[in-house]
Amino acid sequence: MAATFKQFNFSPQMIQALDKIGFTTPTSVQEKLLPAVLSGRDVVGQSQTGSGKTHTFLIPILEKIDVNSQKVQAVVTAPSRELATQLYQAFEQLVATYDPDIMVHNYVGGTDKARQIEKLQHHQPQIVIGTPGRILDLITANALQVQTAKTFVVDEADMTLDLGFLPDVDKIAGKMPKELQILVFSATIPPKLQPFLRKYLHNPLFEQIQPKTLIPETIHNYLYFTQGRDKNALLYRLLTMGEPYLVLIFANTKEKVDEVYDFLKHNGLNVAKVHGGIQARERKRVMKAVVNLQYQYVVATDLAARGIDIPGVSHVVNYELPSDLEFFIHRVGRTGRNGMSGVAYTLYGPDETRGVDALEKMGISFESVRLKDGVLVPAKDRHQRENRHAKGNELEPSLKGYVKKAKRKRKPGYKRKIKAAIQEDARQKRKIEQRRLKRKKRKG
């Protein structure tokens, strides 16, 4: 019998709110961790992107909020403005049905800090969401009062570490009461995160939820070898096959994103771009426009791969393999969500074969394809191609035995002996020729 959210004894308001957004069956992460989170225990949850981590802490926080207390009761940090805004929207979506009186505020860089400080002088939100830097700024200004918090959530902890925000998170945690429930969620738990976990978490539950497959079965994962082809032209052909609903194209640098964006826009596609070189306000505008389906194609760096949930992504294209192969799963995980089917294309050249090898060793399977008359058809498996090239340098089997036999017959110094024999043969021929010429002279 399939699990349901009713098994957790949530309030009728929560069940109604979950039903309204189409949540009836908990994910593996939610099923394993919700009981511990609801009990107040510290938790470290590790699972891949798209596994439902957000609602694993969102639901218990709302269930524990004291609506009559106008104090900060929960703080949630995210490593980027986009992720924080997404979390804020997820909270607002549930709050609208659960209890509209709950105050949720989002504090991120690039917004009016002075105005935020002014508003905080009059009232404190019950739920605080934001980036570590801005939250710490508001605490340091004695505007945000987090000493009343009961729950602290560090979302995407590995990305927080990678981007250098963990010291800010450390300082935020230091401003909170000792009796504090801390929830850490992440796709990976790197060793450098361990000191923070040991410092603040008390007898935490560590739970690593292994996915059934690294790439969901709902995703068709295609591999395309680009050697000898115009990569941009190939990309355009793939993007204009059929009618894709929404396509994310990933590149490694903002310069490459700009290049691909310019090419696609020049060729008439309705395309947007997202990378760290774009101002926060403009990125926010673009992301809102993407969610509202004002663009069909989005070219982005990995900033958009981690945790950004854009509904309706039908296709993902890896224009190039990510520098950090772990990001491959985050990229492809943008499609095929919530049981929907999706398509992922990975374009790779001869210099990226080792990266593809490494992905396959991680357990990721590809289907090699090529374009023929505007249609995708199976391509020869790349391993067959490599094996063929390797065999091309080998001798025919019938010659191998002959060579081995000849080597066995050769004695030490055989080259010197052969050279001496050739020289001796030449001397004998010269002597014979000289004798012939002498006889000829005598007869003359």
Domains of the chain: 5-208 (3.40.50.300), 219-385 (3.40.50.300)
The mean of the pLDDT values for the chain is 86
Inform me whether the pLDDT recorded for 418 exceeds 80: no
When mean pLDDT is compared over 217-231, 258-272, 327-341, 417-431, the highest value belongs to 258-272
Whether 282 contacts 276, CB under 8 Å: no
Q: Which range among 42-46, 84-88, 265-269, 304-308 shows the weakest confidence by mean pLDDT?
A: 304-308
- Measured torsion, CA atoms of residues 124, 130, 133, 134, in degrees rounded to the nearest 10: -40
Name the pLDDT band for 208 (thresholds 50, 70, 90): confident
Q: Which range among 160-164, 194-198, 403-407, 416-420 shows the weakest confidence by mean pLDDT?
A: 403-407
For the whole prediction, is pTM greater than 0.75?
Answer: no
Higher-scoring residue by pLDDT: 152, 162:
152
Higher-scoring residue by pLDDT: 10, 21:
10
Burial group, residue 306, by CB count within 10 angstroms (0-12, 13-18, 19+): buried
Question: What kind and span of H or E run contains 183?
Answer: strand 181-186
Higher-scoring residue by pLDDT: 70, 2:
70
Q: What is the mean pLDDT of residues 285-295?
A: 90
Query: What local confidence, expressed as pLDDT, does residue 105 receive?
Result: 97
Q: Which range among 116-130, 194-208, 311-325, 399-413 shows the weakest confidence by mean pLDDT?
A: 399-413
Query: What local confidence, expressed as pLDDT, does residue 43 receive?
Result: 96
Residue 325: DSSP 8-state: T
Inform me whether the pLDDT recorded for 435 exceeds 70: yes
Higher-scoring residue by pLDDT: 83, 24:
83
